[in-house]
Chain A
């Protein structure tokens, strides 16, 4: 059995999650509970590099999907862990205990752009948008075109006006 199948089976037997192997080196899975225990297990198994964390806003479902992309330098494998959290009260545990400042910075970005709260991450200060007090801008229900038209359009400028009409 190859290494990728080995790890997929181990994740399946330890956590009861469905795993999908794509290509020859990547595993995708979805967990129903908070993923921190699974992530901790993955890190012990060699997935030491937290490549990225991302959030997808499934607005119709009322859920945010948080995805962790991990890489193992020893086995040359990619592990993608997905979990869905409520969109109205988006809270999940921080991965700072596992990846320190690396996790901190990804979570800080997602807090700013989607409003997700990572419990245990104590520095949610904004990275990109100073003084922004409106809806987190990467949410699906934030319409930036409307926002620009209302707040920033210079009506006296003919060229700008033409662009929007």
Chain B
């Protein structure tokens, strides 16, 4: 390892300057920071204590992406906040758009048009697929499987083309899913293009099966999380389902049109990094199935209430709401309090990565080898942005 100068001995604070100190006293425990250099963990750092190759303990060090969205939203109207909600998570802005829009809709009591609900689900499921592709790509990169990384990011671009066509933005849809519905209807030709893109996603999933063995070798048996610990530590989404717990907000407390849709909740029993990733792959297949159902039964009609133009200044009545959605990382929630003003009085954002990257990660890393840390870290499908908010 080239960065020997940052290996310090925590017992006396002096620097370990040469290899002999390490070889003569095998019981020395060293500090090893993982991150926050971006291509590794991505704007996040874990302070590891290592004995030889083994991780003895881990302490998460968040805060590199703290932007204070909860406070910023107190100063802005719902339509402005819809744009802000994109930035909660870089990988899946549309899903966070929906969490925010549902919170405002419920507080105000808006009747969202049926067609808008279908388009919302269509968009968040497309977003779930591309987010899982990033996950697969980053996980491949972390395990030294560069082909997987390039494949996933290449195929993801087809979905980004769709986003550009429908929302105008490739990565950030600037609040496409907004209070009252969605900003605009699907443009002509969008349905055919979505169907063609789904074929591309299926193509990638087939390639993934061919390349599986090298991935398996690095991810199997590392970072094991039991079902009991997963629930106690607040894990949700693929992390929880990878430990054998069948729980999905879309099934357990259906929102939008999920009650009318047919889909399975994939689970795995092993609870290791591989199980979590395979849950992700199976979820992509389920999302394809959901999108096909949505496209087959897409109703006609308005896509926003009021339909002419979005209401820029709207009074948020007294009251509070706690909205939970299943985004690709797990349970995303927003607690919104209104007091009759044009801006929310208080917004609390609950990101799934907040629990996955702090209590869960600190729990599963000890006992593993340092070479497995990247695989374990990425198997949590983490996003430092939704952790820090």
Contacts and interface: CB of A to CB of B under 8 A. Distances in A.
Contacts of B66: 128-129
Nearest to B346: A56
Main DSSP-derived SS at the A contact region: mixed
Given A51-B331, A69-B322, A137 B71 contact: yes
Given A51-B350, A100-B232, A102-B233, A137 B335 contact: no
A105 B359 CA distance: 7
Contacts of B359: 100-102, 104-105
Contacts of A99: 232, 234
Interface string B63-95: 100101011000000000000000000000000
A54 B253 contact: no
Contact of A102 (B68, B232, B245, B320): B232
Contacts of A69: 322, 333, 335, 350
B238 to A, nearest CB: 16
Interface string A92-124: 000000011110110001000100000000000
What range describes how many residues of A lie at the interface?
Answer: 20 to 34
Interface in A14-39: 25-26
Nearest to A104: B359
Contacts of A71: 324
B378 interface: no
Contacts of B348: 52, 54-55
Nearest to B74: A140
Main DSSP-derived SS at the B contact region: mixed
Contacts, number: 84
A42 B388 CA distance: 29
A52 B389 CA distance: 14
B363 interface: yes
A139 B363 CA distance: 32
Interface string B213-237: 0000000000000000001111010
18 contacts: A25-B253, A48-B232, A49-B236, A51-B350, A54-B346, A56-B345, A67-B320, A69-B333, A69-B350, A71-B324, A73-B252, A76-B252, A100-B232, A101-B232, A101-B358, A105-B354, A105-B355, A109-B354
Closest 10 interchain pairs by CB? A54-B348, A101-B359, A102-B234, A128-B66, A128-B63, A52-B350, A56-B346, A76-B252, A54-B335, A105-B358
Interface of B: 62-63, 66, 68, 70-71, 231-234, 236, 245, 247, 252-253, 320, 322, 324, 331, 333, 335, 337, 345-346, 348, 350, 354-355, 358-359, 362-363, 388
Interface of A: 25-26, 48-52, 54-57, 67, 69, 71, 73, 76, 78, 80, 99-102, 104-105, 109, 113, 126-130, 137-138, 144
Given A54-B348, A78-B322, 11 more contacts: A49-B231, A52-B335, A56-B345, A101-B233, A101-B359, A102-B234, A105-B358, A128-B63, A128-B66, A129-B66, A138-B68
